[in-house]
């Protein structure tokens, strides 16, 4: 495996990133109409199934997964035609309403190229990725955007084995596009055709037998996986618990490598046990390394679909709450759910699992979802989209003042994404608030939109992205962008972040608009002044003040200057000189350099 970047086979991409125009600066040293497939269904549980108090349950468990969950088996006719039909609809539908989950029963499939557009998830239905093999590809490219992959958001691949036709599978994505529990029997190319701009990304619990080539990818986080090699680095490549990862070498090349992940618990997933749908709940791992499914069957427990309320987009918040109160878990089938009240998760061990980027929109300024201060809740696989009336918060994990010890069985938040604006006007004072102790947030993108509809400094106002008040919280794979004030504000003790990617808000009108008292600009990542212990690895913040390029941001990171608050591998970069940073963290680190789009780095702090 190379310890330094390998030259690209194509000329180095260059330019300045602007998602709404042509993408990002790559300072790289290298660069239902077709027969044979239908919606999934499972026999509903009888409505008289016992509820949590032993009485009859009014709402049934199990049931039909809806028209946008499409299940294939190896005998299905014209699978490729159905895949192409959905891709044609979703390829450029960045803010559209279509949502799809493409599920493949265990077996072997040949000659397929599943191209994934927006809000499309593909997954196998086995317990192990190797139960479902595609002799072919699961492809994300950027032809729809002139070879620029910086807007390839909101799509996913999970629980499949791939044997790529050319020997290498292309997965050219940016934020909110997880690659989980995948086995690639070959290589993986993370760049679009032509090696254009890309701003990803996330891999977890996956085995890549060949080499991973990020090429023009600006940053990437890989967790608890195995790779046959890693080709190069651009700005910030972070690995934790990855067999075959490059050695620690930040600042050059910018690899931040942890031998293990402090704690992890893989995302719940739907699978088939014979003809019965079940949801597998992987167990928690401490100091994890490598895939969780090593020799086939993963470790954990499972629940029958009969214990889930299978929700559809026509269900009201009252119905979802009733299901939860009756002791059911929630399976959110693909679609857009309007909520006129908060969905409350109050029971320990509750699972809320979304398929196909199920999207929750809070109406009338409510909070979309709140979790009580209980053990073992699992939130996974859905999008929260702010509504036009300002919400004080969009998602809360634990109430204010939560203090219970959840170290043995934490709440996990995985592939849960938040968007403010873009699909239309949206506002929220704070997007994600974590109050419960020991919570694990594993891969989130919290995004105040910089393009699309309903975008403007006040139009989609959103002051804070992620606020962590709980102690002992771990976040692995934290992407937060464009908030009017602090993107991340961390007040809890003993917090840890492994990988952070940020852009400050593009659209600030002037210096006064971002002024934070006597400080020029709000830090992207702020650790509270009273915090005594905190640690972060591989954190980057970028500025692109295109409305007013004269704006100066004092620093990307702010933290108390004490020995228990430690950072490893920090960087800031000005994209093409549109705004500048004076320092990296507090008053430490060199200023960014003119229009050169070259990061300023701090290896350790303090």
HSE toward the beta carbon, residue 475, CA cutoff 13 A:
34
Closest-CA residue to 326 (of 302, 303, 306, 300): 306
Q: Are 41 and 603 in contact (CB under 8 A)?
A: no
| Angle, alpha carbons 428-447-542 (nearest 5°) | 125
Q: For residues 104 and 125, give the distance between their C-alpha atoms in angstroms, rounded to a whole number.
A: 6
Residues with catalytic function? 503
Q: Are strands 202-204 and 219-223 parallel, antiparallel or unpaired?
A: parallel
Q: How far is CA 386 from CA 356, 358, 361, 394, in A?
A: 18, 14, 6, 7
Using CB atoms within 10 A of its CB, is residue 138 exposed (0-12), middle (13-18) or buried (19+)? Answer: buried
Spatial neighbors of 197 by CB under 8 A, at least 6 apart, are 13, 15, 17, 22, 23, 24, 25, 26, 148, 149, 150, 216, 218
Q: For residues 126 and 160, give the distance between their C-alpha atoms in angstroms, rounded to a whole number.
A: 8
Q: Are 566 and 605 in contact (CB under 8 A)?
A: yes
Phi and psi at 603, nearest 5°, equal -75, -45
Q: Are 309 and 333 in contact (CB under 8 A)?
A: no
Cα diameter, the chain: 69
For 254, other C-beta atoms within 10 Å of its C-beta total: 21
**Number of H-type helices and E-type strands within the chain:** 3, 45
Closest-CA residue to 500 (of 559, 444, 439, 427): 444
- Tokens of residue 291, six digits: 């895939």
Q: Are strands 464-468 and 183-184 parallel, antiparallel or unpaired?
A: unpaired
Q: For residues 279 and 452, give the distance between their C-alpha atoms in angstroms, rounded to a whole number.
A: 35
Instruction: Output the CA torsion sign for 208, 198, 214, 195.
Output: positive
> What is the Cα 326 distance to its own chain's centre?
30
Q: Are 158 and 182 in contact (CB under 8 A)?
A: yes
Q: Are 593 and 573 in contact (CB under 8 A)?
A: no
Q: For residues 24 and 8, give the distance between their C-alpha atoms in angstroms, rounded to a whole number.
A: 18
Query: DSSP labels for 218-231?
Result: SEEEEES-EEEEE-
Provide the 3-class DSSP secondary structure of residue 118: coil
- Tokens of residue 98, six digits: 């279509």
């Amino acid at each position: 495996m190379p310890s330094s970047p390998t030259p690209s086979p194509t000329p180095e991409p260059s330019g300045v990133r602007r998602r709404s125009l042509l993408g990002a600066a790559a300072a790289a040293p290298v660069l239902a109409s077709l027969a044979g497939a239908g919606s999934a269904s499972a026999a509903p549980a009888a409505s008289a199934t016992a509820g949590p108090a032993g009485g009859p349950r009014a709402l049934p468990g199990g049931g039909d997964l809806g028209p946008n969950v499409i299940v294939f088996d190896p005998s299905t006719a014209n699978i490729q035609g159905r895949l192409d039909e959905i891709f044609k609809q979703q390829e450029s539908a960045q803010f559209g309403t279509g949502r799809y989950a493409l599920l493949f029963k265990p077996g072997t499939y040949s000659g397929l190229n599943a191209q994934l557009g927006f809000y499309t998830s593909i997954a196998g239905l086995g317990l192990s990725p190797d139960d479902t093999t595609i002799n072919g590809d699961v492809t994300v490219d950027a032809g729809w955007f002139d070879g620029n992959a910086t807007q390839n958001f909101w799509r996913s691949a999970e629980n499949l084995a791939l044997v790529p036709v050319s020997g290498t599978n292309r997965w050219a994505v940016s934020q909110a596009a997880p690659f989980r529990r995948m086995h690639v029997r070959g290589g993986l190319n993370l760049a679009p055709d032509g090696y254009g701009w890309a701003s990803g990304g996330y891999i977890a619990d996956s085995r890549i037998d060949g080499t991973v080539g990020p090429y023009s990818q600006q940053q990437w986080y890989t967790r608890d996986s195995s790779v046959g090699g890693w080709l190069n680095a651009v700005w910030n490549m972070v690995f934790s618990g990855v067999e075959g990862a490059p050695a620690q070498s930040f600042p050059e090349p910018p690899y931040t490598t942890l031998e293990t992940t402090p704690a992890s618990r893989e995302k719940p997933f739907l699978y088939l046990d014979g003809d019965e749908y079940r949801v597998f709940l992987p167990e928690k791992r401490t100091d994890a390394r490598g895939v969780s499914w090593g020799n086939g069957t993963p470790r954990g427990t499972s629940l029958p679909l009969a214990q889930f309320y299978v929700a559809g987009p026509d269900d009201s918040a009252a119905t979802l709450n009733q299901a939860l109160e009756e002791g059911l878990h929630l399976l959110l089938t693909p679609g857009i759910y309007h909520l006129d009240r908060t969905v409350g998760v109050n029971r320990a061990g509750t699972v809320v699992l979304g398929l196909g980027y199920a999207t929750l929109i809070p109406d009338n300024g409510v909070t979309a979802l709140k979790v009580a201060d209980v053990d073992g809740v699992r939130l996974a696989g859905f999008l929260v989209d702010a509504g036009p009336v300002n919400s004080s918060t969009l998602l809360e994990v634990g109430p204010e003042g939560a203090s219970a010890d959840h170290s043995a069985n934490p709440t996990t938040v995985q592939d849960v994404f938040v968007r403010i604006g873009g699909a239309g006007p949206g506002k929220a004072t704070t997007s994600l608030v974590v109050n419960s102790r020991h919570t694990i947030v594993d891969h989130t993108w919290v995004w105040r939109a910089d393009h699309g509809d309903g975008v403007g400094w006040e139009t989609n106002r959103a002051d804070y992205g992620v606020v962590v008040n709980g102690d002992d919280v771990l976040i692995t794979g934290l992407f937060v962008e464009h908030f009017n004030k602090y993107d991340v504000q961390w007040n809890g003790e003993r917090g840890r972040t492994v990988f952070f990617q940020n852009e400050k808000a593009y659209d600030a009108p002037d210096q006064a608009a971002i002024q934070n008292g006597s400080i020029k600009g709000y830090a992207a990542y702020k650790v509270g002044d009273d915090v005594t212990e905190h640690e972060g690895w591989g954190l980057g913040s970028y500025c692109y003040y295109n409305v007013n390029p004269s704006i100066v941001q004092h620093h990307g990171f702010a933290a108390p200057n004490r020995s228990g608050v430690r950072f490893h591998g920090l960087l800031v970069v000005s994209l093409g000189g549109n705004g500048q940073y004076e320092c990296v963290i507090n008053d430490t680190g060199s200023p960014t350099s003119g229009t050169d789009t070259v990061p300023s780095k701090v290896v350790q702090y303090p």
